[in-house]
Amino acid sequence: MTSYPSFIETDPQANVLNRSFKLLIDGELKSAESTFDVFNPANNEVLAQAPSGTVDHVEQAIQAAKREFRSWSALSADERAEYIAKFADALDKHKEELTTLLTLEQGKPFHSMATGEVDASIFWVREVSKRRLDVEIVEDTDEHTVEVHHSPLGVVGAITPWNFPVLLSLWKIAPCLLTGNTMVLKPSPYTPLTALFFGEIAAEVFPPGVLNVVSGGNEIGQYMTSHLDIAKISFTGSIATGQKVMASGAANLKRITLELGGNDPAIILPDANWREIVPTLFDAVFGNSGQWCIAVKRLYVHSSIHSEFVAAFAKYASTKKVGDGMDPDTDLGPIQNKMQYDKLKDLLKDTREKGYRIVLGGDIDESQKGNFVPITIVDNPPEDSRIVKEEPFGPVVPIIAFDDIDDLINRVNDTHFGLAGSVWGSDRQKAIDVAKRIEAGTVWVNEIHIHGIDIPFGGHKMSGVGVENGSEGLKEFTNTKTYMFHK
């Protein structure tokens, strides 16, 4: 078995695995008749058993949320915010256990990515509790008043992925509850434990039925997306699944928010101080082992600096360690699940068979127990190659030379993805001009992966529908309601 940090062995409260994980339905922690195994991706050993929720469990959760919606939505925003702030405080008290559990089931390094995710999540919940959607006065004359209000939708179904299971769940929970809705949350079956754990915490904070957490397979997600008593689905995941969610939600014209895949470009202009940004770009490409939708998936570097950049980038990357996330020396953890691991194996096989120049990595040591994929850099593959066109969702990146900016923009935009991108150059205005031509929901200039409570985030094209965060993100959980008064 893997050796874990001493505090897990010496502190019973920190030993998050020494528990029975349960569903949260109508304020009660419930077992299921059957369970499923959850694996540690660092060694592929069984970590714990999670309850296998059924359609009946989901139905109970939906009906509890529907019942409680009347009382919860009747509270003032300030009253709901008080509950949410208490939830943030309760999460904060258990953040070490939550971080440990996150590393064990997801793989990301405890001392960096996992700690950062949990800290950011708690901060996010607390800050969202301070936000409000004010009444908008459109007209107010001696004869007539027009007001725009934002009323809650009802029961929201949230379906979350395995790459950021804590952050992306709480991104949905906090604004959903603040705006007066209730929720049924279904975490990924690959990483259900963190959600079930903070379900236990939520049971001590919220009134019964406000937040429900049901783990299980795809069948319960499908049940949620077509259920007539669910008013909205908030989904983060793949484009293919997002298409199914949207089609299923048509049964009652659900409100839909989809945050889907990306194939994000980073453009390094010839005047960029590229030596200084190599560490930043490394993190932007390989953070979370490349398992995030907004990771840089395509590095475009001007031909005048391309060779030097590739050499420096590969040299820096070669100093980083891929390993067990519980090891304090680990920089990048394993691929979270075998399905994604096998996809990366196939992609690397195609890259080798096509004869593309692999500068670093490329060969997976399958004798290792964990789902470890080496940091891989591919130099100047053709634009129509799989390594350029597809979203690897792993520690693999092509670095592609360009000369003409107009041609480059055409290449960058020739994709059904449109999540994010970045441009790097010393001439700020020139970089901004390039950024404005990129077809994506978020484009950074001389920075990357900056998010904020008040900054809307969403994709263009097939990278998503709707936004999260900011006032626009709050409004996604509401109906616009217009009142007009004749005086």
Residue 13 reports pLDDT greater than 50 = no
- 137 and 285 share one domain: no
For range 219-241, the mean pLDDT: 97
Residue with structure tokens 């996809």? 343
Q: Residue 133's closest CA among 449, 444, 454?
A: 454
For range 472-484, the mean pLDDT: 97
CA pair distance 274, 301, nearest whole angstrom: 9
Residue 265 reports pLDDT greater than 90 = yes
Of all residues in the chain, what percent carry a pLDDT higher than 70? 97
For range 333-354, the mean pLDDT: 97
Q: How confident is the model at residue 419 (pLDDT cuts 50, 70, 90)?
A: very high
- The per-residue pLDDT for range 102-152, each reduced to its tens digit, is 999 999 999 999 999 999 999 999 999 999 999 999 999 999 999 999 999
- 304 and 362 share one domain: yes
pLDDT score of 456: 96
CB 444 within 8 A of CB 450: yes
Residue 289 reports pLDDT greater than 60 = yes
Query: Residue 454's CB: how many other CB atoms inside 10 A?
Result: 12
CB 469 within 8 A of CB 454: yes
Integer CA distances (angstroms), 180 to 134, 217, 279, 393, in order? 14, 28, 42, 35
Q: How confident is the model at residue 14 (pLDDT cuts 50, 70, 90)?
A: very low
**Domain that includes residue 431, residue range:** 264-452
Whether 457 is in a domain gets the answer no
pLDDT score of 421: 98
Whether 120 is in a domain gets the answer yes
pLDDT score of 83: 98
- Hey, what are 78's tokens? 């300030």
pLDDT score of 17: 80
Whether 32 is in a domain gets the answer yes
Whether 152 is in a domain gets the answer yes
CA pair distance 334, 105, nearest whole angstrom: 11
| Residues in CB range of 458: below 8 A, 6 or more apart | 257, 259, 441, 464, 465, 466, 467, 468
pLDDT score of 399: 98
Whether 34 is in a domain gets the answer yes
CA pair distance 72, 69, nearest whole angstrom: 5
Beta-bridged to residue 267, according to DSSP, are: 300, 423
pLDDT score of 2: 44
- CATH, residue 164: 3.40.605.10
For range 316-345, the mean pLDDT: 97
- 201 and 336 share one domain: no
- Hey, what are 466's tokens? 């709707």
- 282 and 247 share one domain: no
Query: What are the two backbone dihedrals, phi and then psi, of residue 450, each rounded to the nearest 5 degrees?
Result: -90, 125
- Hey, what are 192's tokens? 């259900």
- 216 and 277 share one domain: no
CA angle 10, 325, 367 (to 5 degrees): 115
For range 194-203, the mean pLDDT: 96
- 202 and 308 share one domain: no
State the Cα torsion 47-48-54-57 to the nearest 10°: -130
Whether 139 is in a domain gets the answer yes
Query: Residue 314's CB: how many other CB atoms inside 10 A?
Result: 17
pLDDT score of 10: 43
CA pair distance 439, 421, nearest whole angstrom: 9
Mean pLDDT of the chain: 95
Residue 6 reports pLDDT greater than 90 = no
- Hey, what are 135's tokens? 């009444």
Whether 1 is in a domain gets the answer no
Considering its fold, how many domains does the chain have in total? 2
Q: How confident is the model at residue 204 (pLDDT cuts 50, 70, 90)?
A: very high
For range 157-179, the mean pLDDT: 97
pLDDT score of 19: 81
Residue 1 reports pLDDT greater than 80 = no
- 308 and 437 share one domain: yes
For range 160-166, the mean pLDDT: 97
Residue 9 reports pLDDT greater than 60 = no
Whether 143 is in a domain gets the answer yes
Q: How confident is the model at residue 16 (pLDDT cuts 50, 70, 90)?
A: confident
- 124 and 256 share one domain: yes
For range 169-195, the mean pLDDT: 98
Residue 371 class from Cβ within 10 Å (0-12 exposed, 13-18 middle, 19+ buried)?
Answer: buried
CA pair distance 326, 315, nearest whole angstrom: 25
3-state secondary structure the chain: CCCCCHHHHHCCCCCCCCCCCCEEECCEEECCCCEEEEEECCCCEEEEEEECCCHHHHHHHHHHHHHHHHHHHHCCHHHHHHHHHHHHHHHHHCHHHHHHHHHHHHCCCHHHHHHHHHHHHHHHHHHHCCCCCCCEEEEECCCEEEEEEEEECCEEEEECCCCCCCHHHHHHHHHHHHCCCEEEEECCCCCCHHHHHHHHHHHCCCCCCCEEECCCCHHHHHHHHHCCCCCEEEEECCHHHHHHHHHHHHHHCCEEEEECCCCEEEEECCCCCHHHHHHHHHHHHHHHHHCCCCCEEEEEEECCCHHHHHHHHHHHHCCCCECCCCCCCCCECCCCCHHHHHHHHHHHHHHHHCCCEEEECCCCCCCCCCCCCCCEEEECCCCCCHHHHCCCCCCEEEEEEECCHHHHHHHHHCCCCCCEEEEECCCHHHHHHHHCCCCCCEEEECCCCCCCCCCCECCCHHHEECCECHHHHHHCCEEEEEEEEEC
pLDDT score of 185: 98
- Hey, what are 291's tokens? 């398992």
CA pair distance 52, 46, nearest whole angstrom: 15
- 120 and 254 share one domain: yes
Give this prediction's pTM. Answer: 0.94
- CATH, residue 360: 3.40.309.10
- 403 and 302 share one domain: yes
Active-site annotation, residues: 259, 293
Residue 8 reports pLDDT greater than 90 = no
- 154 and 277 share one domain: no
CA pair distance 387, 126, nearest whole angstrom: 40
For range 452-481, the mean pLDDT: 96
- 239 and 110 share one domain: yes
Among positive and negative, which fits the CA dihedral 353, 340, 337, 218?
negative
